[in-house]
Each structure stands twice: as structure tokens, then as C-alpha cells.
Structure 1
Amino acid sequence: MSTTKIHYISGITITIFIVLHLFNHICSLFGEDLHISVMESLRIFYRNIFIETIVISAVFIQIISGLTLFKKKRKGVISGFEKIHIWSGLYLALFLIIHLSAILSGRFILHLNTNFYFGTAGLNTFPFNIFFIPYYGLAIISFFGHIAGVHYKKMKRKILHLTPNQQSKIILFCGLSFTLLIILGLTNYFHGVRIPAEYNVLIGK
């Protein structure tokens, strides 16, 4: 099986998880309690040894195959969406390495519940939020940008009189909108979230 095919299959696996994860984050627009409640329900599905092993394995495969493809394809990139596809993939690979390391460290070293408060501690604490808001925001935009790039490459026909280029632009616009909504939810509309004391270790308190 080719590296491209392996990357595509692992990408579909991760996309399913990320869609659920982003849906969970959108719920924060209606309060942290709903976010935590939805996360606890979703964890019944994905936080078991079988599913979790598949997801983590897919992440590692995606990172390795993605970096390999990045080295091969970056010099031959021509169109705008091909560039977005390549560079968003690189950012996602770096983000996934850091994010997964943080989650596993939080669970098995710090023994924290890696829930809403674990993810939002940095987003709601100055000066850490100066880094974490763009860091998380760019990851979400990169996810949609990567999908837009794949769509542009594989879609060969118009839909509702929209060309593949226009369709991909809509996907990217949706990504920007989702990013703003999620950041609003995770920061309580920029009013800040009160972080429980056990998570102070994440922000140096």
C-alpha cells in the first residue's frame, strides 16, 4: 500500500474523532457544564482500550506519513489550495505531536482529568493566552484547510453551480467561523473561565 493511501485511511480515522471533538467544543458556547457532560458521554465511545489504540495509532501513522509526503510534494506545489493542503498538514502534524504529548502527560504523569479545564487553562490565563489562542485557533483552521485542499484535489465537478475551487473556499470559510465560535466558547466569550485549583500546575501557580 502506498504512503498516500495509508495517509488517506489514517486521515479518515482521525477526522471522525476530530469532528466529534470539535462538536464537543462547540457545546462550550452554552456553558462549561454542557461541554463536560457531552465529553463524558463521548468518552464512553472513544476512551476505551480498543478505540483509543486505533485513534492513537492513526495519529502516529498520520504524522509519519504526512511528514514523508510533505518532503516529497512541497517543491511541486502549484495551486493555492495545494499549498494550503501541504502547509496545513505540516502544522497539524506538529500540533498533534504536542497536543497528544500534553494529553498523555496530563493523564498519566500529572494524574489530571483532561477535560474542559485542562484544555482551557492556558486559553484563559494571561499571558499564556497570547500563545494558546492563536495556537488552538490555527490548528482548527488548519484542519479545515487540509480538508479544503483534499476536496479541491479530488472533486472534479460542480455542485450547485459551484466549482471545486469555490466549494473549497466555502469549507475554509466554515473553518474560520467554527474557529471563532470555539474560541468564544472556550473563553466564555472572552470573559474568562474560572479554572479549578488542581489545574494551576498547568499555568505555573
Structure 2
Amino acid sequence: MNSLRLVYRNIFVETILLSAVFIQMVSGIKLVIQNRKKAISKFEKLRIYTGLYLAFFFIVHIGVVMIGRTVFNLDTNIYFGAAGLNIFPLNLFFIPYYSVAMMAFFSHLASIHNKKIKNRICGLTPKNQSIAIILFGAFLMLFIIYGLTNRFNGMLIPIQYNLI
């Protein structure tokens, strides 16, 4: 992570990354406005709702990371992310927040897959492939949340991340 930070925290690269996220959010919201009444299938509606949640997630996530870095002078590493999952009452917000974000990502991906793919793969219809993507996302989400909560794996969060 420290090696990659030399690249992605470069002011030029970071500006490009943040601009890309902003453009993705704005273009996604424009698509929601254009297509919300045309959404008929469950996967089309899923794509709209998950896209909106991902836009919300990115706004909050980027804001919190920037505040953590600039206001609290914290290293926004794995401990920064895990602290919210382990400190009461923050965990009442952050466990569902991260869980829904991961599910929204995989559900959004699955809904796009369902729209674009028309072939059977391994005997599965595009709909069943999309359901498999969502189920994989649910498994991965549970695995990650389980792994980042110190009640279960003994991860010790450094004291400087306990802001409450």
C-alpha cells in the first residue's frame, strides 16, 4: 500500500481518480433520471437502485477518507476502515454501510451482466449467471466483514483510530 500511494496520492493522479469517480456519479445519476420510468425488469430496477447507492457510498467514502487524512492526520489504511466496523456506535452505521456497498457493487455488476450477456455459460442462463454473481458478492461481503471485525479475528485497532 505504501508503494502504491506514491502513485495514487500524487496530486495529478489523485485528481484524475477523483474526477473519474465524480464523472461516473454524475453520468450515472443522469442515466437514472433518463431511464427510471423505462425500467421494467427487476434487474433494470436493481441497476438503478444500486447505482444510486454507489453514488451515495462514494460521496460519503471519499469525504470520510479526506477528513481522516486532512483533519485527523490519520493514515487511511486498513485500520482506518476497520475502526468504523469495530467501535460502537460507529459500527451501527459502518457495518450496514459497507455491507450494502459491497452488495450494491455486485448487484450492479450482475444487472449489467444480465443486460449485456445473451449466451449460456456452463449451462447457466444470463439470469442465473447474474444471480450467481450476486451470491458470490454476498459470500465475499460476509467474509470481508467477518475478517475486519476484531471480535472474530483478534485485529487490534491502534488507539489513534478510536476517535470517540
TM-score where L is the length of structure 2: 0.91
Structure 1 alignment gaps of length 5 or more: 1-38
- 1:145 counterpart = 2:97: no
Query: Within 2, Cα distance between the matches of 1:187 and 1:171?
Result: 24
Contact kept in structure 2, 1:124 and 1:193, CA below 8 Å: no
Query: Within 2, Cα distance between the matches of 1:138 and 1:125?
Result: 19
**CA, structure 1 residues 93+141, in 2 after alignment: closer, same or farther (shift >3 Å)?**
same
**CA, structure 1 residues 63+90, in 2 after alignment: closer, same or farther (shift >3 Å)?**
same
Amino acid at match of 1:86: I
Contact kept in structure 2, 1:95 and 1:139, CA below 8 Å: yes
Give the structure 2 partner of residue 92 of structure 1: 54
Deviation of 1:192 (Å): 5.8
Deviation of 1:55 (Å): 1.6
Identity within the alignment, %: 54
Query: Within 2, Cα distance between the matches of 1:113 and 1:94?
Result: 23
Query: Within 2, Cα distance between the matches of 1:192 and 1:98?
Result: 27
Structure 2 counterpart of 1:164, from 126, 131, 134: 126
Query: Within 2, Cα distance between the matches of 1:88 and 1:108?
Result: 30
Deviation of 1:90 (Å): 0.3
Structure 2 counterpart of 1:67, from 29, 32, 54: 29
- 1:49 counterpart = 2:11: yes
| RMSD (CA atoms) | 1.7
Name the SS of the counterpart of 1:119 in structure 2.
helix
Larger relative contact order (C-alpha < 8 A, sep ≥ 6)? Answer: 1
Name the SS of the counterpart of 2:110 in structure 1.
helix
TM-score where L is the length of structure 1: 0.74
- 1:132 counterpart = 2:82: no
- 1:190 counterpart = 2:115: no
Query: Within 1, Cα distance between the matches of 2:154 and 2:42?
Result: 37
